[in-house]
């Protein structure tokens, strides 16, 4: 089969022929039809310090996908050949305290598809049955390929009640844009998105943001005045990983404001903890998706509103054949894009 893999330590990837993966007793083998390109994949291609600490070479990368089941293990009863599916890319131990308590997304032994084991940038991928999500037959394949980042956005955005709240989202990457669509769908009063890229701010507008702000030219204090806000933002969704964005968010939160943080920074940075304490701000770190409550929520949202579905799909801006993976990676790395999809069909 075709597979996009890293064969040796150092920058770069290769599209090669590899043996098809074997389907085990409790596994499902999936023919990949679409795959989403993530910032994680760029790190693995680049071979930075983090990537070097995670991969087991040679290894196929990729963790966001949609496909069709072609084989199920002898003990699998819930799924069948021909089902259309995506996969939860975090494979957990099932034994640690968090797994046993139903908090699988907090498993201390999580293994990442395409990061710590062979992934989905290939014609076929094999996953444990409990990690496979079955779609309705009418799902758009491109939407099916981005259930992973849609799940990140859903997990982050729905940490707090949204109805009637003023919501600030820092970072207009694909997940930040999808979070804007979710906030609107969940009944937010105002949804404000900040970024340094006018291109990505336009994507956030298409996804449902009420106001898009370039942080290099406009301050949030002035935004509050323009929206006639007098007490600050109620909910903050931090998607950028940028220390300056976090600092300005905290400066503009209402007393009792609630912040969910998904964006990963490059390193440690200072926080004005005095303000956090005196303004009674709640800060919660978010990782991945709740298994599998988040999946039920995003599936329900997509099938309950045509407007929401189109807003989410608007985040997909580029699609390339698998053979054109180098152009796809270059497009994603350049940043003037939303979600980039690889077509493996």
* Residues 188, 239 within the same domain: yes
Instruction: Residue 76: give its domain's CATH number.
Output: 3.90.180.10
Q: Among the three residues 270, 285, 300, which one is the final residue of a domain in this structure?
A: 285
Residue after which a domain boundary falls, among 266, 285, 304: 285
Same domain, 130 and 181: no
DSSP-assigned letter for residue 66: E
What is the pTM for the complete model shown? 0.96
Q: Within this chain, do residues 90 and 211 fall inside the same structural domain, yes or no?
A: no
| Whether residue 19 is found in the same domain as residue 63 | yes
Question: What is the model's pLDDT at position 135?
Answer: 97
Q: How far apart are CA 290 and CA 105, in angstroms?
A: 5
| β partners of residue 112 | 90
State the catalytic residue, choosing from 22, 43, 154, 279.
Answer: 43
CA 249, CA 336: separation in Å to the nearest integer?
24
Domain-located, residue 225: yes
- CB atoms under 10 Å from CB of 92, counted, come to 22
Domain span at 257:
156-285
Tell me whether residue 303 is one of the annotated catalytic residues.
no
Q: Which of 22, 40, 60, 318 is catalytic?
A: 40
| pLDDT tens, position by position, 181-196 | 999 999 999 999 999 9
For 69, the enclosing helix (H) or strand (E) is strand 64-72
Do 71 and 26 have their domain in common? yes
208-215 contacts, C-beta under 8 A, 24 or more apart = 208/180, 208/181, 208/183, 208/184, 208/311, 209/169, 209/177, 209/180, 209/184, 210/184, 212/172, 215/244, 215/245, 215/248
CATH at residue 214: 3.40.50.720
Q: Is residue 291 part of a domain?
A: no
Does residue 84 lie in a domain region? yes
Q: How far apart are CA 172 and CA 186, in angstroms?
A: 19
pLDDT, residue 142, reads 97
- If asked whether residues 76 and 121 sit together in one domain, one would say yes
- pLDDT, residue 132, reads 98
Residues 233 and 325 grouped into a single domain: no
d(CA 293, CA 298): 9
**What is the predicted pLDDT for the residue at 338?**
97
Q: What is the pLDDT of residue 107?
A: 97
The whole-number pLDDT of residue 133 equals 98
Assess whether 275 and 202 both reside in one domain: yes
Phi/psi at 225 (5° precision):
-65, -40
The alpha carbon dihedral of 8, 12, 15, 21 has a sign of: positive
Q: How many Å apart are CA 258 and CA 282, to the nearest integer? A: 5
**DSSP helix/strand/coil, 236:** strand
Same domain, 116 and 181: no
Which residue reads 């037959």 in tokens?
137
Q: Are residues 138 and 162 in the same domain?
A: no
Q: Per-block average pLDDT, block size 10, for the chain (345 residues)? A: 97 98 98 97 95 95 98 97 98 97 96 98 98 95 97 97 97 98 98 97 98 97 95 98 97 98 95 98 97 96 96 98 98 96 97
Burial of 227 (0-12, 13-18, 19+ CB in 10 A): middle
What is the number of structural domains in the chain? 2
Q: How far apart are CA 148 and CA 38, in angstroms?
A: 10
Residue 172 placed within a domain: yes
Here the tokens at position 261 are: 């943080």
Q: Is 43 a catalytic residue?
A: yes
Helix (H, G, I), strand (E, B) or coil at 100: helix
Does residue 300 sit within a domain? Answer: no
């Amino acid at each position: 089969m075709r597979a996009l893999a890293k064969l040796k330590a150092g920058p770069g990837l290769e599209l090669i022929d590899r043996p098809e993966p074997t389907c085990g007793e409790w596994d499902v083998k999936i023919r990949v039809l679409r795959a989403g390109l993530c910032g994680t994949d760029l790190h693995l291609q680049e071979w930075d310090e983090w990537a070097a600490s995670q991969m087991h070479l040679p290894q196929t990368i990729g963790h966001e996908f949609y496909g069709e089941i072609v084989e199920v293990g002898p003990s699998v009863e819930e799924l069948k050949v021909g089902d259309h599916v995506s996969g939860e890319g975090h494979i957990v131990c099932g034994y640690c305290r968090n797994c046993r308590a139903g908090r699988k997304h907090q498993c201390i032994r999580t293994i990442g598809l395409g990061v710590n084991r062979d992934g989905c940038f290939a014609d076929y991928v094999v996953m444990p049955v409990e990690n496979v999500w079955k779609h309705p037959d009418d799902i758009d394949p491109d939407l099916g390929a981005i259930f992973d980042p849609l799940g990140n956005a859903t997990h982050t955005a729905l940490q707090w009640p949204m109805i009637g709240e003023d919501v600030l989202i820092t970072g207009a990457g694909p997940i930040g844009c999808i979070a804007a669509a979710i906030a609107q769908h969940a009944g937010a009063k105002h949804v404000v998105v900040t970024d340094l890229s006018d291109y990505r701010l336009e994507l956030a507008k298409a996804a449902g943001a009420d106001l898009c702000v370039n942080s290099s030219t406009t301050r949030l204090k002035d935004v509050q005045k323009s929206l006639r806000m007098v007490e600050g933002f109620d909910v903050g969704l931090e998607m950028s990983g940028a220390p300056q964005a976090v600092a300005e968010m905290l400066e503009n939160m209402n007393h009792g404001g609630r912040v969910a943080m998904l964006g990963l920074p490059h390193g440690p940075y200072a926080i004005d903890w005095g303000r956090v304490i005196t303004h009674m701000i709640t800060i919660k770190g978010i990782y991945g998706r709740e298994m599998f409550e988040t999946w039920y929520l995003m599936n329900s949202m997509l099938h309950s509103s045509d407007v929401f579905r189109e807003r989410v799909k608007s985040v997909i801006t580029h699609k390339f054949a698998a053979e054109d993976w180098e152009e796809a990676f270059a497009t994603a790395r350049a940043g003037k894009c939303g979600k980039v999809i690889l077509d493996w069909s």
